[in-house]
Amino acid sequence: MAVTLEKLSEQLHAQLRGDPQCVVDRAEPLATATAGSVTFLANAKYQSHLSKTQASAVILRADDVDQCPTNALIVSNPELAFSQVLNLLYPAPILSPGIHAGAIIGKQCQIDPTATIEAHCVIEDGVRIGAQTVVGAGSVIGSHSQIGAHCRFYSRVTVYHRVNIGNQVIIHSGAVIGADGFGLAHDGQQWVKIPQVGGVEIGDDVEIGANTTIDRGALQNTVIGQGVKIDNLVQIAHNVKIGDHTAIAGCVGIAGSAEIGRHCMIGGGACINGHIKITDGVILTGTSVVAQSIEEPGVYSSGLAVQKNSVWRRNVLRFYQLDDLAKRLRRLEQQVNQIPSPSQGEG
Amino acid sequence: MAVTLEKLSEQLHAQLRGDPQCVVDRAEPLATATAGSVTFLANAKYQSHLSKTQASAVILRADDVDQCPTNALIVSNPELAFSQVLNLLYPAPILSPGIHAGAIIGKQCQIDPTATIEAHCVIEDGVRIGAQTVVGAGSVIGSHSQIGAHCRFYSRVTVYHRVNIGNQVIIHSGAVIGADGFGLAHDGQQWVKIPQVGGVEIGDDVEIGANTTIDRGALQNTVIGQGVKIDNLVQIAHNVKIGDHTAIAGCVGIAGSAEIGRHCMIGGGACINGHIKITDGVILTGTSVVAQSIEEPGVYSSGLAVQKNSVWRRNVLRFYQLDDLAKRLRRLEQQVNQIPSPSQGEG
Amino acid sequence: MAVTLEKLSEQLHAQLRGDPQCVVDRAEPLATATAGSVTFLANAKYQSHLSKTQASAVILRADDVDQCPTNALIVSNPELAFSQVLNLLYPAPILSPGIHAGAIIGKQCQIDPTATIEAHCVIEDGVRIGAQTVVGAGSVIGSHSQIGAHCRFYSRVTVYHRVNIGNQVIIHSGAVIGADGFGLAHDGQQWVKIPQVGGVEIGDDVEIGANTTIDRGALQNTVIGQGVKIDNLVQIAHNVKIGDHTAIAGCVGIAGSAEIGRHCMIGGGACINGHIKITDGVILTGTSVVAQSIEEPGVYSSGLAVQKNSVWRRNVLRFYQLDDLAKRLRRLEQQVNQIPSPSQGEG
């Protein structure tokens, strides 16, 4: 879609410096933008590209406007403004509502007439689906689950039975919501399955990435708070609770009954132990391992990044001796402290 | 379902202390249980909740009965007994057997008349499916695969061709059994695929989590022993052998040709190298990395848990210098040992 | 399929030592091979099995032929030759081309008449699919995506809209190509989705494992180069670029905008940070964590392998004190250096 900068500046409540009649019809990255495109500068790392950009307009902060060689849209949060521009330039395709002839619908379902159920879906008995919600091709919604309005499930999503999902929830392809938690009792000889009779509760405005899995609770619900954003291939075990507006990057694993606070950021590949509690406002950098509860907000990290294999091998070997090294250091300190100091020696 | 404590105590072979005619109709956690529910106490961590529980009955060990303010069902393994209670109170829905009209069935299949094949399944040629087995909606069973009796596959399971699966096997949604192993030869310029002509063999009473992947063998079978329990998003590569009754938590990766013993417990996020052997009875705590064979049973661990980022940064820096630190310590020891001891100095 | 060694040696351009009329009809591992089978020896680790093998023929290097007790096919790259033998002995089943009656095909699609579209597929509007390509049961191909010739998609693959896939590409079951990248702006209170308007571009001869996810770019394309091989449960985030002929083992996570060079090998479970660059020819061993760019080819590693839990606990504790230990060592060095040396003391 094409739009004038005048229109854009109105929509974004941005201050326009330049030609209001200039038209842009696409978004491109700062460094490679071409005439006719709009771009943005949010991260100082990319600032060096600003003076050479070929974009027709740049969304940026007032501080950066002097370096801008073209039309500028001045806002306080360029990334946020840019996301609004993208929605404008690339409107989501409008799907014609209705239930595809190839979908299977159970008994006593309540599917809003404005909802879309795509081909090869299976909607089991007693399911409720809200207005404007789209259930992608090949998805399966288990019996008595409830899905709010304005949700977008892409193809091949599985929602097990008795799962409650809020409004404006996006679920990507292959995600599985409500499979059994990994609950086992040992009878002395073998593992016996503990039936998982809880459910899953997902708040409004949640996004769940491709092939992510969120298990149902053992007795009570697994709970994903409002506005939580979850990337791909994340595992959330039974009884976990995730606080509102927490973001979880790809490949994270969260073990059973862990509680994560509100407004946390969990970096990619992090692993969080079960039965622990992480307070609000905690940031975990990528590949963090959390073994115990975190009671203070702040940035936490663990793990070691790569070194050349030859160097790393030597350091690892020393790590395996670390307790011994520390003890030798202690002994040496004691030994040295028994040596008369030079002044004493001289005295 | 509602049941009297008299009935429960019979089923569990439990000693009942309290009112045999008391009725319970649901299970709840000890801390939040309400009247009409049954709960249990297995983990000492939760013992403080016992004296205040509102449950109508608690399943517990004889040692804990004195603290119990309500009816008590005394058993030796409360968690195990509780799993039986759950099966009783929450019976699995009975599915009407048969093949859904929307399923596609290949030639020369042998599908037991008591089996259920749900909508949109594809059962390829020559597949055998045993009595009472349920294949969930949208699942695909590859040609000449065999599936035992009393299995439960949830929706959207893929089983490739020539895979053999035992009885009472549960497979959760999105799991993929029998995809090609990652077998590549290098011709000096590029990777050439090595056809994977082995299969997969899965024993009785196995459970496989959502979106878990188990590859077929290169030449022989990948083997999952009897009673093995596997959580979500686990990767099991070609030619791996998992011994009977081993449990594997979420996000574990096991590389090609690794052999895991019987009765092992693999913590979440663990990574196990290829071509190694782990003996019976090994416990790996979460995020363990196993590079070499483990020949002795016991508990093994690796990895570092989070610290505040500011502290961690300093320690990591030191790790990178660890070999150097160790050498400096050695030098210092030599230096100090050449210093005459105080007594010598005095002599 | 059965074949004479004469025929095999011709196909492999191998030198045959033994009976040209000997027939083999299957491939088996060196250690367990039986009469009638062909096997190979590539890895010195398995050499001890050679002298006792029961195979009818062994593919090996000239250096090993003297130890071979049976017919030998001598080549320079036995693993590569063996992959050719497997293709010969186990030809892929020939599928009858055409569109299954149960598949849903959108408007203005161009599907080559020699392509196979299996049951329950959904092919959205404007999709192009090349000659001989097979799209497995239950797969969904998003609107205006293009798929080359001779591709093999197994069942339940999702390709989102506007994804371009080359020729001879294999995609395993459950893989999701082109889901939204994890792009979020924060408005001070909550996360706002940044629409992901880029696509995905996948070169020729790529293989993608089961349940692997490759996100679409934010503005431009995520790019997977020619001949790249990707194992199961790998996460590739938006805007990532993977150079030609790079191989990525299972459970790897690659964060947004990372660029990986050509001919790299990424070990299982590795995590690669976003916005960094890894040069050509880098080998990362399993579970490597890459936080910063790597500019020099070579082997890189990180992480610690398991120790007995009791030993590991002590070493971890010391790691947490590592900065302190290093400072104590420094102090001690200074202290010791102020002690007069023995000769000085004696002087």
* pLDDT in the model for residue A45: 84
B-chain residues near A291 (CB < 8 A):
286, 305-306
Closest CA–CA distance from residue A89 to any residue of chain C (Å): 10
Please tell me chain C's helix, strand, coil percentages from 3-state DSSP, rounded to the nearest 5: 20, 30, 50
Which chain A residues are Cβ-neighbours of B155 within 8 angstroms?
A: 122, 140, 158
Would the CB atoms of A122 and B309 count as touching at under 8 Å?
Answer: no
Helix (H, G, I), strand (E, B) or coil at C283: strand
Count Cα atoms within 13 angstroms, Cβ side, for A267.
24
Residues of C in contact with B255 (CB under 8 A): 249-250, 268, 286
- How far is it, in rounded angstroms, from Cα A296 to Cα A290? 13
Specify the 3-state DSSP secondary structure of A326.
helix
| Token digits of residue C258 | 């990372």
Whether residues A180 and B172 touch (CB distance < 8 A) is answered with: yes
Binary contact (C83, B195; C-beta < 8 A) = yes
What would the two tokens of residue C304 be? 């610690």
User: How far is the C-alpha of A156 from the C-alpha of A102, rounded, in Å?
Assistant: 14
> What long-range pairs does C333-342 form, CB within 8 A, spacing at least 24?
C333/B328, C333/B332, C335/A336, C336/A336, C336/B332, C336/B335, C336/B336, C336/B339, C338/A341, C338/A342, C339/A336, C339/A339, C339/A342, C339/B339, C340/A342, C340/A345, C341/B338, C342/B338, C342/B339, C342/B340
**Which of C155, C305, C306 minimises the CB distance to B140?**
C155
Closest in C102, C154, C319 to B319, CB measured: C319
Chain C residues with CB under 8 Å of B273 CB are 286
Question: Cα(B270)–Cα(C199) distance, rounded to whole angstroms?
Answer: 33
Which residues, other chains included, contact A320 with Cβ-Cβ below 8 Å and sequence gap of 6+?
C307, C311, C315
What lies within 8 Å, CB to CB, of A125 at 6+ separation is A106, A107, A108, A109, A143, A144
Considering only the beta carbons, identify the residue of A194, A215, A255 that sits closest to B86.
Answer: A194
For tokens 């004479």, the residue is C4
Q: What residues have CB less than 8 Å from C44, skipping those under 6 apart?
A: none
Contact A224, A245 (CB under 8 A): no
Phi-psi region of C30 (alpha: psi -120 to 50; beta: other; left: phi over 0): alpha
Cα(C80)–Cα(A180) distance, integer angstroms: 43
Q: The pTM is what?
A: 0.96
CB contact under 8 A, A253 and B233: yes
A-chain CB neighbours of B29 within 8 Å are 219-220
Active site residue B238: yes
pLDDT above 90 coverage of chain A, percent: 92
Calpha distance C214→C201 (Å, rounded): 10
Q: Quote the pLDDT of residue C345.
A: 44
Instruction: Choose, out of C154, C155, C158, C226, the residue to mutate when testing the contact with B (most B CBs < 10 Å).
Output: C155
**A347 exposed, middle or buried (CB, 10 Å; 0-12, 13-18, 19+)?**
exposed
**pLDDT at residue number A1:** 84
**CA-based max dimension of chain C:** 102
Q: What pLDDT, in 10s, does the model give residues A207-244?
A: 999 999 999 999 999 999 999 999 999 999 999 999 99
Q: Is the pLDDT of residue A345 over 60?
A: no
pLDDT over 50 at A292, yes or no: yes
Chain C nearest-CA distance from B324, in A, is 10
Give the chain A residue whose CA is nearest to the CA of B323: A315
Return the domain boundaries, chain C: 3-89, 312-346
Residue A249, SS3 per DSSP: coil
Nearest CB neighbour to A336, from listed B118, B233, B336: B336
The ranges of chain C with pLDDT < 50 are 344-347
Selected residue of C226, C251, C302 to mutate for chain B interface (largest B Cβ count, 10 A) = C251
Give yes or no for a contact between A231 and A246, defined as CB atoms under 8 angstroms apart.
no
Residue B298: which of C308, C342, C345 has the nearest Cβ? C308
Give the DSSP H or E segment for B37.
strand B37-40
On whether the CB atoms of residues C266 and C284 are closer than 8 A, the answer is yes
Contacts of A284 in chain B (CB under 8 A): 306
Query: So what's the pLDDT on residue A44?
Result: 86
ipTM surpassing 0.90: yes
- The CATH classification number of A99-300 equals 2.160.10.10
Is C292 within 8 Å of A312 when comparing Cβ atoms? no
The 3-state DSSP class for residue A270 equals coil
- Calculate mean pLDDT across residues A58-78: 96
Mutate to test the interface with B, among C104, C245, C262, C306 (most CBs of B within 10 A): C306
> Per residue of chain B (347 residues), what is the pLDDT tens digit?
899 999 999 999 999 999 999 999 999 999 999 999 999 999 888 899 999 999 999 999 999 999 999 999 999 999 999 999 999 999 988 888 999 999 999 999 999 999 999 999 999 999 999 999 999 999 999 999 999 999 999 999 999 999 999 999 999 999 999 999 999 999 999 999 999 999 999 999 999 999 999 999 999 999 999 999 999 999 999 999 999 999 999 999 999 999 999 999 999 999 999 999 999 999 999 999 999 999 999 999 998 999 999 999 999 999 999 999 999 999 999 988 888 765 544 43
Smallest Cβ distance to C336: which of B122, B179, B335?
A: B335
What kind and span of H or E run contains B80?
helix B78-89
1.20.120.1730, 1.10.167.10, 2.160.10.10, 3.30.950.10: CATH of B98-300: 2.160.10.10
Q: Considering just the CA atoms, what is the radius of gyration of chain A in Å?
A: 27
Q: Does residue A298 carry a pLDDT above 70?
A: yes
User: Which residues does C298 contact at the CB level (< 8 Å), separation at least 6?
Assistant: A308, A309, C281, C282, C283
DSSP states of B163-201: EEE-SS-EE-TT-EEEEPP--EEE-SSSEEE------EE
Q: Choose, from B172, B238, B263, B275, the residue flagged as catalytic.
A: B238
In CATH, the number for domain A3-89 is 3.40.1390.10
Chains that touch C (3 or more CB pairs under 8 A): A, B
Structure tokens at B191: 């990777």
Q: How far is B175 from chain A (nearest CA, A)?
A: 10
Query: Which residues of A does the annotation mark as catalytic?
Result: 238
* pLDDT (0 to 100) of residue C340: 73
Q: Which residue of C has its CA nearest to B211?
A: C211
The answer to whether B195 contacts C227, with C-beta atoms less than 8 Å apart, is no
